[in-house]
Amino acid sequence: MRLGKRCSPGRAPAGEDGDWVLAAIVEFDAVGLRYGTGAEVLRDLDFRLGQGGFYFLTGPSGAGKTSLLKLLYLAQRATRGRIRLFGEELTGASREVLPEVRRRIGVVFQDFRLVRHLSAFDNVALPLRIAGASEQEVDGSVREMLAWVGLSDRSSARPPTLSGGEQQRVAIARAVIARPELLVADEPTGNVDAEMAMRLLHLFTALNRLGTTVVVATHDVGLISATPSAQIIRLENGTMVDPTGGLKNPPGEPRRQGRA
């Protein structure tokens, strides 16, 4: 499948033994989040995500997964602690800086957020058009992407006439088409069957191999077990649970690792 052009993949210089060392793309220090005057829904979050890594975010409903992803794609600001993204300090960053950082992130929202009056094709084309791609490039890439997610015959349909699973696939195609540096996906396979879920996972791993750091919130154990090289972040009650509690490859300091 064709994914749009992107700048250099995120690898730091080689380490002593010749392996690649992953630089941190996301750094959380003592981060907390509360909505309004309520109790903190996220607290004491301290972790690093390595550039080019593949991460699953798991945990029970209400644990704070979507809230954590919102911090990552800048829809919420932390109410406590420090967050750095792409090496840039976001705490106290001016509003002008945020759209620039935001353009480096692809997002699959839990509720899709497609543009209702645009066709599936035009929704998927949006990031490429915003990035200034030629219509010829847009046409080829979008057609190919829609074919990959099994929606070639629905390309002129508007979101309100698509099923939930079809909308979800359009949302995924839109999030990945411009090869973002960071992909954040919130339950991206919640509305599709197991076979399509595996196909979509394939899209994420292909993007990851091209250098994108991938963070997927999911309850789908099938996805997780099909991605043995991924690391797992588990949230319970707003906080990351003890990495020694049987978790597979919990994130810590960026370190040498393979790709998913």
Ligand X SMILES: Nc1ncnc2c1ncn2[C@@H]1O[C@H](COP(=O)(O)OP(=O)(O)OP(=O)(O)O)[C@@H](O)[C@H]1O
Residues that bind ligand X (CB under 6 A): 35, 38, 41, 59, 61-67, 110
* Structure tokens that stand for 28 in this block: 């959380």
Give the 3-state secondary structure of 96-130.
CHHHHHHCCEEEECCCCCCCCCCCHHHHHHHHHHH
61 touches, from ligand X, Mg ion, none (C-beta below 5 to 8 Å by class): ligand X
- Residues 106 and 184 sit within 8 Å (Cβ to Cβ): yes
Shortest gap between Cβ of 135 and ligand X (angstroms)?
37
Q: Which is nearer to ligand X, 151 or 235 (CB)?
A: 235
C-alpha 87/C-alpha 11 separation (Å) is 13
Q: Interaction with Mg ion in 47-66: which residues (CB under 5 A)?
A: 65-66
Q: Using the 8-state DSSP alphabet, how is residue 159 labeled?
A: G
168 binds Mg ion (CB under 5 A): no
CB of 39 to Mg ion, least distance (A): 18
| Smallest distance from ligand X to CB 97, Å | 24
Whichever of 63 and 185 has its CB closer to ligand X, that residue is 63
Residue 40 per-residue DSSP state: E
Exposure string of 169-183, with b = 16+ CB inside 10 Å and e = fewer, is: bbbbbbbbbbbbbbb
Q: Which residues contact 23 (CB under 8 A, 6 or more apart)?
A: 10, 11, 12, 50, 51, 87, 254
Judged by beta carbon, residue 66 or residue 168, the one nearer Mg ion is 66
Q: How far is the CB of 65 from ligand X (least distance, A)?
A: 3
Q: Smallest gap, in angstroms, from Cβ of residue 67 to ligand X?
A: 3
For the chain, the straight-line distance linking the first and the last C-alpha, in angstroms and rounded, comes to 18
Give the nearer residue to ligand X in terms of CB position, either 64 or 254.
64
Closest to Mg ion by CB, 66 or 249: 66
Q: Which residue, 72 or 125, is less far from Mg ion as judged by CB?
A: 72
CB of 178: closest distance to ligand X in angstroms?
A: 25
Q: How far is the CB of 154 from Mg ion (least distance, A)?
A: 26
Q: Considering beta carbons, is residue 24 or 107 the nearer one to ligand X?
A: 107
Q: Which of Mg ion, ligand X, none does residue 152 bind (CB under 5 to 8 Å by kind)?
A: none
* Count of residues of this chain found to bind Mg ion when the rule CB under 5 A is applied: 2
Residue whose CB is nearest to Mg ion in the complex, by number: 66
Pairing type for strands 24-34 and 80-85 reads antiparallel
Instruction: Choose the contact partner of 33 out of ligand X, Mg ion, none; CB within 5 to 8 A by kind.
Output: none
- Residue 209 makes CB contacts below 8 A (sequence gap 6+) with 259, 260
Side-chain half-sphere of 86: how many Cα atoms within 13 Å?
18
Binding partner of residue 41 among ligand X, Mg ion, none, CB cut-off 5 to 8 Å per kind: ligand X
In 3D, which of 45, 32, 26 has the Cα closest to residue 87?
Answer: 26
Which stretches of the chain bind Mg ion, using CB under 5 A? 65-66
